[in-house]
Structure 1
Amino acid sequence: MNRLRAAQWFDSKRGRATRMHGSQKYINRDLSWTEFNRRVLEEAEDPGTPLLERFQFLSIVASNLDEFMSVRVAGLREQLKAGFNKPDFTGYTQGGLLKRLSKRVGRMVRLQYKTYRELLRLLSKENIALASWDDLNGEQQEAMTVYFQEIVFPVLTPMAVDTSRPFPLLHNKELYLAVVLRPEGVEGPTQENGIYFAIVQVPSILSRTVEVTKRKGSRKNAYLLLEELIRVQIGQLFSGYATESVHAFRVTRNADLALNEEGAEDLLKEMEKELRRRRRGFPVRLEIEKGMSIQARELLMEELEVGEEEIFEIDGPLDLTFLSKFTGSLPNMEQLRYPPIEPVYPAAFDVSEDILSVLRERGDALVYHPYESFEVVNDFISEAAEDPDVLAIKMTLYRVSVNSVLVQALARAAESGKQVTVVVEIKARFDEARNIAWAKQLERAGCHVVYGLVGLKTHAKITLVVRREAGSLRRYVHVGTGNYNENTAKLYTDAGLFTCHPWIGADASALFNEMTGYSTPHDWRAFAVAPAGLRPRLYELIDREISCAKQGKPARIVAKINSLSSQPMVDKLYEASQAGVKVDLIVRGVCCLRPGVPGLSDNVRVVSIVDRFLEHSRILYVSADGEDEVFISSADWMSRNLSRRVELLCPVYDRGLRLALRNMLELNLQDNVKARELLPSGGYVRVQNEQPPLRSQFASSDIPLWKTVADAKDFT
């Protein structure tokens, strides 16, 4: 341990040596997250990314930052207010971490808006402009005035703030205008008459961008921001008053829920109450438009009880998440987007319209989204719902899309008399309201709806179909790494396994029994299940590789996950590295492990891929003394996943499918276009080598998964 505390590494990329103390063995989780969002911002900055896609990445940066502030930063502020200011395992106190995060986020926001201005300039060259009022000619201004009077004005509600009208409740992440007024004929606010202050909400029910009528003979399409239109027409709301200033602002509130599951008689009603309380969460960030009047700024600070460290002055339009919808709706701009990838129906199931018969006759099947269509999952559930020999369907739902085909199929199955059990996770952050609505719909259809286990989120992604066949029962199972959501399945990379393997089927039944009833811990034959069994199983697999390495045998671990922040898991990987195990980690987001540190993590490499699709699959490969083993999972290697959630690790038994997944992992590790490598210092650099350019996400679309599987099966 003394040697580790005094360990020294040389960062060849940055050309400096660094002393490492005990707490510096780890990278702080929240600082690591800022590095991840910086990588997303790099995609917006990259001239090689199609222009409209660069706007999309800029929108994602803003959305990510909103969630980070409302959850992670809010949690730190809450701890600090409660007097808790002790170092975490990375050595940071809450107060010290908040100061460093404030600086990093401030730099990120400045880069974000610098990129925004550059992208607007490039967009203008494509004859599309976000215009200001002064850019419009008289005819265009007149048309916009008519639009304001007919469409916008009836929706607006001016809210004066004075002794008789208290400061209103400002909704989380909504856009407002702070208006400073003076009576007409009075020369500005004075000590005697004070200021007149009002708030106007920019209605989110209307489009944030308003298309402007083209100038005659012009090819340019201009759009006006809704808040700009309201600003120039604000006098219509305050007759008898002159406008001193109008500036936009936005409040981000603590959005983390404090649900009392133990004391709740009805979890559904308790969640609905908590969602209403979320609107009143304490403010953690106040974004204000650059140039806001001192009077308005001070009044907002006083009423919202925020300090200077919680204020972000923005040089541009607030809330850039609008860019996603704006650029996504621009017509005839295909040349400025990624080429479309049409998901294909998985070849394994293309031979028959009966999915269950394919699994009976041909064995397990693997699908990889978004290259292969999520329709096969919809068809699996729909087929089971219509099959008279199917007796029961059991399924977990974490995040479900609007108008979900799966939910409709489950409802039909229940209405036809089948036993349908759905474990709905209503605590899925920011999808709580939608999941409550689906739960009620399923209950009305006759489904048995369960809201998970007290104190645990149900994050496993699994479906079980029980079918009567030749006087006995057969179980069909789908296990996935991603949510049952047909929309995100087009945007996220995820793997799904279809099987009727008896061990997996038996474990699936036992898992649902544990989630829905009282059941003693099961003696799992295939699965490893959190919170009790997943971490020990991962340790067991890592220990086996350590044992092989110590015997001089080849030992290797390749893990693809979204986040690695559990200190015990990081320590276990350090132990593996020190024993000589080669460890390759593909971690999209947060990573608290420092790779490449002599004597600590010499044998660990960490890469992150940020590209067109969100890397979301969780896959684990271990060499297993020459008998390769591959698993798919719902779990990241975070404390919450391993200790406070129902998570699932499922083996892939088919040798060909194992090889296909291993090939996918190797493809990620060979990426030298969109992959970044984590340095011991905690920073990331793009992977550069002498190999021909390889972009793993695009290679995946060029080399279909089923072709890889077919080649692998020939090998067996």
Structure 2
Amino acid sequence: MKTKVDYYDPKFFTNRELSWLDFNDRVLEEARDKSNPLLERVKFLGITQSNLDEWYMVRVASLVKLVEVKYQQPDASGLIPIEQLKEVNRKAHDQINKQYTTLNRMILPAINQVGIHLLNVEDLTERQYQFIRGYFHDELYPVLTPMADDSSRPFPFISNDSLNLSLRLTGKDSDKSLYATLQVPSIFPRVVKLPGGSNDFILLEEIIKQFANQLFVNYDIEEVSTFRATRDMDLDVAEEDTSDLLKKVQQQLKLREHGHVIRLEVDSNISGKLRKRLVKELKIDEDSVYEVNGPIDLTFLNKLASAVVGHDDLKYPPFKAYQAKELNSDHNIFDAIKKHDWLMQHPYDKFDSVVEFIRQASIDKEVLAIKMTLYRVSGDSPIIKYLGRAAQNGKQVTVLVEVKARFDEENNVHWARTLEKMGCHVIYGLVGLKTHSKLSLVVRREQNGIQRYIHMGTGNYNDVTAHFYTDLGLLTCNNDIGIDVTNIFNMLSGYSQPPFFHQLHISPHGIRDFINDKLNHAIKYAKEGRPVYVRMKMNSLSDKDMIAKMYEASHAGVKIDLIVRGICCLRTGIPGISDTITVHSIVGRFLEHSRIYMFDFDGDQQVYLSSADLMTRNLNRRVEQLFPVLQPDLTQRVLDIYQTMWDDNVKTRTMIDDGTYKRVDRRGHAPLNSQEYFAAQATKMVNAQQAVPRQKNDKQFEPMMSPQNQPDPFDEEDQDRGENQ
């Protein structure tokens, strides 16, 4: 009699938060990797800090709240919240120590050697010292506000993520210790460029420390130390209690600034007295105090790398993103889509084609309606402008703006208000669900009747992040897909509940059911001895039911290859459970963001793209879409893209049996960096396109100028703007 296998055994799972720390450690490896350009290594170190900050503000904050209410339910790996928090703090302390070892022993010495200097006050020349003295008096002094802390003046409120100085002072006629706090103003650049050297810099807090005594006349500063508090920034919107979601989000944004302190970072040389005082006033556990050996908040490194003059040799070489001429402003994009589907792989294919799709729709006389979902957009989004233009041109424009998109809430509230003012119909998301799908629908009147044109993608409609997030998008006018997308928008804007979809699969629940069905089909094939192969790519894999189903498939003999950039709670190499599962993670120049789900049933290749990762939130609590790539040549292109990434032996790490990751052994193999390969291919296609003489097109699509007869705002200069990851 066969023993029933428990695919949910906790020892088969890795804790989600510990897996996330492993991912951030892979990013940290890029900062330590000497094969990367030096200034890119500087940026990677800064990215590890911004990653940690967001993780603390949301994920660790949630753990702290669970511990406070004595929640005892274990996670998939068998750890209850208090055990998770203990392990998280232990591992995070180790990672932060590694960050500062990387900074002090590798990064700072390396940039010094090439003439880039981050200086302390004692290192300055006389001219540089006089410069910071003048800067303090002329710029900083009028803005700084020292806050005394005594019996009549309580300890001041410390805002989230702000850099502060804690001071211990004595009066001229007394030995009694007095205390004060001074916030480092965020309205000034933290990285200050110095005269006398093309790449000499000093941090703002070092200037303030040097002249802080001038803010405390008749007192002596005995000690000054930098600190930073991180607060619980998870947005808690009780949507059932309000009919005005927008107002509720705005209220919560104000309340969020006063969340509990969940992390305190202090200088490693802080005195016991000052440290004890901060711990007491900020009401934080000792386990959540981090002493750091260097400047607190390493996100300044991104600004430092950007401020360096020259040294292009220390950055990634530029590449040329490709755009098919049929999808540019010289051609009618609807004619192009009518001929066949178009697949775009960003950032190697320009995001301009997506923007052009909306731009042409906004001015095309035959377009009746535009419908779109927006999760994250840039601060100066051309898509928003074109949607507004479309409404002003009399088209029916419906936009779902997800105002609960984490850390983009304020930006999205602003855009929602802007779109409404421009005449668009705006939906603010759904009660209890986040809308994370990436869909655009253009309805056009043509000779043969109404035609629907659709864009679907794996990434956000963000023209800035599209330059460094890898995503896939599809332009199509497939009739079945058009009907499905119409039904989705009716579902989002009204009370429609379509009984079925022709080609698309929708979360909540629909994507889970679809992938379960495919894995059950694969299990059936494996048991019958027929060839079957499952390949997937995603950002994170944490849903325990999906993982258990993959274990069941592997147990039946199904070969499963996974590319998972970040969190992966699945374990490989468990005898009889996951022998046939291999996990790769690619961390490199671009942030891998595309989601691909592929099934090969004895040569029947089925390829799907999705906005969803296999996380419980994506499958149960978000509106997501999964869609097929039906055109044979595009199906093959996705298969080739995946295979190139799978064969990457430069930026790939493979999960080994103990749950850790190691670099691919490429002895005897030519190096293949998949991201470099795709960038080189794009550049080659651009060069080939430019070599062909441009022919006049008599049926050329003439772009309409704005009412002010100004060029479109989306030009080459806009494409080069950068934004922090």
TM bin, normalised by shorter chain, reads over 0.9
CA distance in 1, matches of 2:623, 2:401: 12
Which ranges in structure 1 are unaligned for 5 or more consecutive residues?
8-20, 190-194, 711-716
SS at match of 1:605: strand
1:204 is the counterpart of 2:186: yes
What is the one-letter code of the residue matched to 1:198? A
C-alpha displacement of 1:412: 0.4
1:486 is the counterpart of 2:463: yes
C-alpha displacement of 1:294: 2.4
Q: Which residue of 1 aligns with 2:306?
A: 328
C-alpha displacement of 1:691: 2.2
C-alpha displacement of 1:348: 5.3
CA distance in 2, matches of 1:253, 1:244: 29
CA distance in 1, matches of 2:41, 2:548: 38
CA distance in 2, matches of 1:440, 1:135: 50
SS at match of 1:628: strand
Q: Which residue of 1 aligns with 2:644?
A: 667
CA distance in 1, matches of 2:27, 2:117: 24
* 1:220-275, Cα deviation, whole Å (9 max, x unpaired): 63211100000010011111111011110000011111101111121111000100
| Aligned residues of 2:229 and 2:261 also touching (Cα < 8 A) | yes
Q: Which residue of 2 aligns with 1:88?
A: 75
Task: Trace 1:545-624 onto structure 2 (pairs within 5 A).
Answer: 545-624=522-601
Q: Which residue of 2 aligns with 1:240?
A: 218
CA distance in 1, matches of 2:144, 2:449: 65
Q: Which residue of 1 aligns with 2:675?
A: 697
Residue 141 of structure 2: which of 123, 146, 153 is its match? 153
| Aligned residues of 2:116 and 2:308 also touching (Cα < 8 A) | no
Q: Which residue of 2 aligns with 1:123?
A: 111
Residue 137 of structure 1: which of 125, 146, 164 is its match? 125
* 1:153-201, Cα deviation, whole Å (9 max, x unpaired): 1111111111222222111111000011110243x43xxxxx2111111
Residue 441 of structure 1: which of 418, 424, 429 is its match? 418
What is the one-letter code of the residue matched to 1:35? D
Residue 68 of structure 1: which of 31, 38, 55 is its match? 55
What is the one-letter code of the residue matched to 2:113? K
CA distance in 2, matches of 1:307, 1:372: 49
Deviates more, 1:282-291 or 1:695-704: 695-704
| Aligned residues of 1:129 and 1:220 also touching (Cα < 8 A) | no
Q: Quickly say closer, same or farther: Cα 1:407–1:522, change in 2 above 3 A.
A: farther
CA distance in 1, matches of 2:537, 2:491: 28
What is the one-letter code of the residue matched to 2:575? P
Q: Which residue of 1 aligns with 2:341?
A: 364
C-alpha displacement of 1:3: 7.5
CA distance in 2, matches of 1:87, 1:481: 32
1:265 is the counterpart of 2:252: no
Deviates more, 1:619-628 or 1:653-662: 619-628
SS at match of 1:244: strand
1:290 is the counterpart of 2:259: no
CA distance in 2, matches of 1:308, 1:49: 37
| Aligned residues of 1:346 and 1:706 also touching (Cα < 8 A) | no
**Cα RMSD between the aligned structures?**
1.8
CA distance in 2, matches of 1:705, 1:535: 38
TM-score by length of 2: 0.92
C-alpha displacement of 1:351: 10
1:299 is the counterpart of 2:277: yes
Residue 429 of structure 2: which of 437, 442, 452 is its match? 452
| Aligned residues of 1:348 and 1:365 also touching (Cα < 8 A) | no
1:32 is the counterpart of 2:19: yes
What is the one-letter code of the residue matched to 1:349? L
Deviates more, 1:423-432 or 1:152-161: 152-161
Aligned pairs, how many?
A: 684
SS at match of 1:155: coil
What is the one-letter code of the residue matched to 1:85? Q
C-alpha displacement of 1:697: 0.8
Q: Which residue of 1 aligns with 2:161?
A: 173
Which ranges in structure 2 are unaligned for 5 or more consecutive residues?
689-725
Deviates more, 1:296-305 or 1:653-662: 296-305
1:510 is the counterpart of 2:487: yes
What is the one-letter code of the residue matched to 1:76? L
Q: Quickly say closer, same or farther: Cα 1:706–1:497, change in 2 above 3 A.
A: farther
What is the one-letter code of the residue matched to 2:257? R
| Aligned residues of 2:572 and 2:656 also touching (Cα < 8 A) | yes
C-alpha displacement of 1:373: 0.7
SS at match of 2:322: coil
Residue 52 of structure 1: which of 18, 39, 47 is its match? 39
SS at match of 2:241: coil
1:164 is the counterpart of 2:152: yes
CA distance in 2, matches of 1:343, 1:290: 45
* 1:20-67, Cα deviation, whole Å (9 max, x unpaired): x93111111111111100000000000101100001100110011001
| Aligned residues of 1:583 and 1:605 also touching (Cα < 8 A) | yes
1:685 is the counterpart of 2:685: no
* 1:474-529, Cα deviation, whole Å (9 max, x unpaired): 00000000000011000010000000000110000000000010112341001000
Q: Which residue of 1 aligns with 2:172?
A: 184
Q: Quickly say closer, same or farther: Cα 1:705–1:140, change in 2 above 3 A.
A: closer
What is the one-letter code of the residue matched to 1:38? D
1:392 is the counterpart of 2:369: yes
SS at match of 1:233: helix
Q: Which residue of 2 aligns with 1:107?
A: 94
C-alpha displacement of 1:85: 2.8
| Aligned residues of 2:199 and 2:308 also touching (Cα < 8 A) | no
CA distance in 2, matches of 1:583, 1:351: 42
* 1:533-552, Cα deviation, whole Å (9 max, x unpaired): 11101111112222222222
CA distance in 1, matches of 2:160, 2:283: 15
Deviates more, 1:390-399 or 1:83-92: 83-92
| Aligned residues of 1:384 and 1:393 also touching (Cα < 8 A) | yes
Q: Which residue of 2 aligns with 1:18?
A: none
What is the one-letter code of the residue matched to 1:554? P
* 1:91-148, Cα deviation, whole Å (9 max, x unpaired): 1111111111111111110110111112111101111111000001323211210011
CA distance in 2, matches of 1:493, 1:181: 52
* 1:579-633, Cα deviation, whole Å (9 max, x unpaired): 1111000000001111122100111000000000000000111113422111110
| Aligned residues of 1:510 and 1:522 also touching (Cα < 8 A) | no
| Aligned residues of 2:538 and 2:565 also touching (Cα < 8 A) | yes
CA distance in 2, matches of 1:52, 1:705: 23
SS at match of 2:495: coil
C-alpha displacement of 1:352: 5.6
CA distance in 2, matches of 1:648, 1:578: 29
| Aligned residues of 1:352 and 1:358 also touching (Cα < 8 A) | no
SS at match of 1:331: coil
| Aligned residues of 1:595 and 1:606 also touching (Cα < 8 A) | yes
CA distance in 1, matches of 2:499, 2:304: 51
C-alpha displacement of 1:350: 5.6
Identity of aligned residues (%): 44
Q: Which residue of 2 aligns with 1:631?
A: 608
| Aligned residues of 1:396 and 1:422 also touching (Cα < 8 A) | yes
TM-score by length of 1: 0.93
CA distance in 2, matches of 1:480, 1:705: 23
Q: Which residue of 1 aligns with 2:717?
A: none
C-alpha displacement of 1:359: 0.8
CA distance in 1, matches of 2:477, 2:182: 59
